[in-house]
Structure 1
Amino acid sequence: MWPDHWPRTPREIAAATADALAAAHDESAQAFDDAVVVLIGLPYEQVTAVHAGMIRELLEELHPDGLAGEDVQAVLERCVRSGLRWLPSLELDAVVAVLTGALGVSDPDAEGPRIRAEQYLAAGLLVVADLVAARRVAPEPYLRRAVSEIERAETQEMP
């Protein structure tokens, strides 16, 4: 399903992310948790970069004239409402951190609640699942582009 030229880690990130998004779509907490466990075992920075890339692209497509605070608030509300129905361990602070991080508006030096990696990854996946549903598209093309963009950036020589 994933390009053969991708190294093992990006393929694993893509596969586990796709599994988690399918589980979120089906509201299957056990399958979702299983996919998050796989993602926790992979390089955190790469996983979060893939998810953030997907979030940014989906937000740009959903809001081509610009993203307002109300738009971000609507995503936050939808994610929390739908997520808490089937994923009671969802942390509101993690969803906020994912959205602000993906948009590049978080302050890395600010003191805030300590969010565990699994909470952050789960929140990121729920945001992606929400945006995919709002856009009414399949997540795989976004996942491919996010992984490919990271691959391109990592192989690009810095001046």
Structure 2
Amino acid sequence: MKSWRDLPGPAKAVGIGIIGVVDAALDRDPAAFEAAGGVLTALPAEQSGLLLGALVRQLLEDGHVDGLDEDDIRQVLSRCYQDAAGWLAPREIDVAVLVAVLSGALGIHEPGVTYREIIGPSGPGSAGSRTGTDGWVDPDLTGASVGAAVGAAVGAGSGPSAPVLDTVPSTAQYCRHAALLIADLLPAGRRSMSPHLDRAFHEIAGSEAMEMP
């Protein structure tokens, strides 16, 4: 494979779908982001999830060649959230899902098993907590909530302050929040996704080849 664009239909469609939603995030266009997110969500979830995770991991590693520590994770989460809050409605951004995407990309948590909610104290109405199925409270990204988020993301959030999420992030949530992280992590002034997609597809192909008996 010389380029991801040489891949057969389904895989190539996922790559194109990711470019669409990341471009919309870079343009800070809510309507385009919603539409592109819908297109990506409609594609095979396993393929899009693997590719998005590989892209997030790749960009994190590229930007932190000496490794990630708590401060790095805190900075990534805070910067991504605060930037997205400048153009998306609050209900569209969930710091718990951002952490789930980041943790999954780094292989820290197993999707659906150990995703953790790290938005501060639990319980209705408390700062930084969920308040019902659709309720949302602005997380304090400069305070204890990010401290708990970072702790969980690096494997320390196993206590009561980091309860297991009631539900796994939906495909739509995962795709959109992964795109927000990718847009945030792309090097400034370098919007082209093709080199990153080439590397991600090669990484996935290599991993699958190693797993074959």
The two structures share one fold, judged by TM-score above 0.5? yes
Q: Deviations over 1:107-134 (max 9, x none)?
A: 5433314222211111101001100045
Bigger relative CO (Cα 8 Å, ≥ 6 apart): 1
For residue 3 of structure 1, report the CA deviation from its aligned partner.
2.5
User: Partner residue of 2:34?
Assistant: 33
Change (3 A) 1:37 1:140: same
Partner in structure 2 of residue 99 of structure 1: 102
Cα distance in 2 between the residues matched to 1:125 and 1:32? 9
Decide which structure has the larger Cα Rg and report it: 2
Instruction: Choose which of 91, 101, 113 in structure 2 pairs with 1:109.
Output: 113
CA contact (8 A) 1:20 1:125 kept: yes
Alpha carbons 1:93, 1:113 under 8 Å: kept = no
Aligned equivalents of 1:10 and 1:21: distance in 2? 17
Q: Give the secondary-structure state (helix, strand or coil) at the position aligned to 1:109.
A: coil
Q: Deviations over 1:22-43 (max 9, x none)?
A: 1111101111111111111111
1:130 aligned partner = 184
Please say if residues 21 and 40 of structure 2, whose CA atoms lie closer than 8 Å, have aligned partners that are also in contact: no
Partner in structure 1 of residue 20 of structure 2: 19
Q: Which region of structure 1 is more displaced relative to structure 2, 112-121 or 78-87?
A: 112-121
CA 1:60–1:19 in 2, change beyond 3 Å: closer, same or farther? same
After superposition, residues 48-127 of structure 1 pair within 5 angstroms as 48-88=49-89, 89-107=92-110, 108-110=112-114, 111-114=164-167, 115-127=169-181
Aligned AA (2:61): E
Distance 1:72 1:141, change over 3 A: same
Contact 2:4 2:201 in 1 (8 A): no
Secondary structure in 2 matching 1:65? coil
d(CA) in 1 for partners of 2:174, 2:166: 12
Task: State the partner residue of 1:145.
Answer: 199
Give structure 2 stretches of 5+ with no counterpart: 115-163
CA shift in 2, pair 1:105/1:156, >3 Å: closer
User: Per the alignment, in what secondary structure is the counterpart of residue 3 of structure 1?
Assistant: helix
Q: Using a 3 Å threshold, how does the CA distance of structure 1 residues 156 and 9 change in structure 2: closer, same or farther?
A: farther
**Length, aligned pairs only:** 158
Q: Give the Å deviation of 1:85.
A: 1.5
The one-letter code of the counterpart of 1:87 is L
In 2, the alpha carbon distance for the partners of 1:56 and 1:135 equals 20
| 1:4-25, Cα deviation, whole Å (9 max, x unpaired) | 3x11111111111111111111
Give the TM-score taking structure 2 as reference length: 0.67
More helix by share: 1
RMSD (Å), alpha carbons: 2.1
Greater mean alpha carbon deviation, residues 134-143 or residues 123-132 = 134-143
1:76 aligned partner, one-letter code: L
